[in-house]
């Protein structure tokens, strides 16, 4: 991607051209931007070791790239709620998924793999049985209320909550979920990426005054530095 867009050969690459390329990644998610930068740095390291370039220009702007990769665009809860509220009542599945994401900060694959047994309605708690197992308390009852209605309507008493095909024991795909989210945002002219729901939740935990280590646990972060970007 970089070589296709770069107007000069790699040996003539300048810091200014590199900075311009990285600036063009602004519409990508933080994870995608970080992956682009990491790959580019390794490639330029290889070029330097093979004497194709006199030095690695990305090292000259490394602090800039670290900040660029780690700081997500801020989206307010009210903006996300406006998108969720615009979902038609008969689309309870999607309304529940996005409400849960906003109230728990779950990763997309985590929410899609939730089972009926993971939602503890009495204690208003969601148990995440994934690579980062954790129990998340809900600060409101909204998703629990929607869950009760949805489970009763779909006659769900066990197993996966969000099936792609109700006749199969297979979860809804990321592609289908993201497509629905983008179409819903477009209808109300909202510019919100699906990953920003999780970012919003993390910032709310910070604003509530929770300890950074507790926030890290609730987010399921492997490294505390991942959580620090929300401070």
pLDDT of residue 69: 46
- Please compute the mean of the pLDDT values over residues 195-210 and round it to a whole number: 93
pLDDT at residue 198, as a whole number: 93
Instruction: Give CA–CA dist 169/60, Å, rounded.
Output: 51
**DSSP per-residue string spanning 123-178:** TTEEEE-SSS-EEEE-SSSHHHHHHHHHHHHHT--SSBSSBSSTTSS-BPPHHHHH
Which position has the higher pLDDT, 224 or 176? 176
> Is 150 a residue whose pLDDT tops 90?
yes
The answer to whether residues 41 and 56 touch, using CB atoms and an 8 Å cutoff, is yes
pTM above 0.75, yes or no: no
CA distance 223 to 215: 12
- pLDDT: is 131 or 151 the higher one? 151
Average pLDDT, the chain: 87
- pLDDT over 50 (residue 111): yes
Pick the residue with more confidence: 58 or 217?
217
Single out the residue of 55, 52, 60 nearest to residue 22, CA to CA: 60
Sign of torsion, CA 134 140 141 142?
Answer: negative
Using CA atoms, how far apart are residues 69 and 32, in angstroms rounded to an integer?
A: 8
User: 177-187: per-residue pLDDT in tens?
Assistant: 999 999 999 99
- Place 167 in a pLDDT band, splitting at 50, 70 and 90: low
Predicted confidence at residue 151, as pLDDT, reads 95
Tell me: the pLDDT tens digits for 19-40?
A: 777 777 666 666 677 788 888 8
Q: How confident is the model at residue 127 (pLDDT cuts 50, 70, 90)?
A: very high
CA distances from 176 to 108, 163, 172, 173 (A): 12, 11, 7, 5
Handedness of CA 33, 39, 43, 44 (dihedral sign): positive
pLDDT digits (tens, 9 = 90+) for 38-87: 888 889 889 888 888 888 887 877 655 555 444 457 899 999 999 999 99
Contacts of 211 by beta carbon, 8 Å cutoff, 6+ apart: none
Q: Residues of the chain with pLDDT > 70: what percent?
A: 89
pLDDT confidence tier of residue 211, bands split at 50, 70 and 90: very high
Residues 83-98 as b/e (b if ≥16 CB within 10 A, e otherwise) read bbeebeeeebbbbbbb
* Range 128-150 average pLDDT: 94
């Amino acid at each position: 991607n970089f070589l296709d867009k770069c107007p000069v050969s790699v040996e003539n690459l300048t810091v200014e051209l590199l900075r311009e390329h990285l600036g063009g990644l602004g519409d990508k998610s933080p994870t995608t931007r970080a992956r682009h930068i990491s790959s580019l740095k390794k490639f330029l390291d290889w070029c330097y070791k093979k004497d194709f370039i006199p030095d690695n220009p990305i090292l000259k702007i490394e602090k800039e790239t670290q900040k660029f990769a780690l700081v997500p665009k801020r989206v307010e809860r009210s903006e996300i709620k406006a998108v969720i509220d615009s979902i038609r009542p008969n689309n309870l599945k999607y309304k529940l998924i996005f409400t849960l994401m906003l109230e728990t900060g779950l990763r997309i694959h985590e929410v899609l793999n939730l089972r009926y047994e993971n939602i503890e309605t009495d204690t208003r708690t969601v148990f995440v049985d994934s690579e980062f197992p954790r129990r998340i308390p809900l600060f409101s009852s909204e998703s629990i209320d929607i869950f009760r209605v949805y489970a009763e309507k779909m006659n769900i008493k066990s197993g996966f909550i969000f099936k792609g095909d109700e006749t199969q024991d297979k979860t809804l795909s990321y592609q289908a979920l993201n497509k629905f989210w983008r179409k819903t945002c477009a209808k109300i002219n909202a510019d919100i990426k699906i990953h920003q729901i999780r970012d919003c939740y993390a910032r709310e935990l910070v604003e509530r005054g929770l300890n950074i280590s507790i926030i890290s646990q609730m987010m399921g972060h492997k490294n505390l530095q991942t959580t620090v970007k929300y401070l």
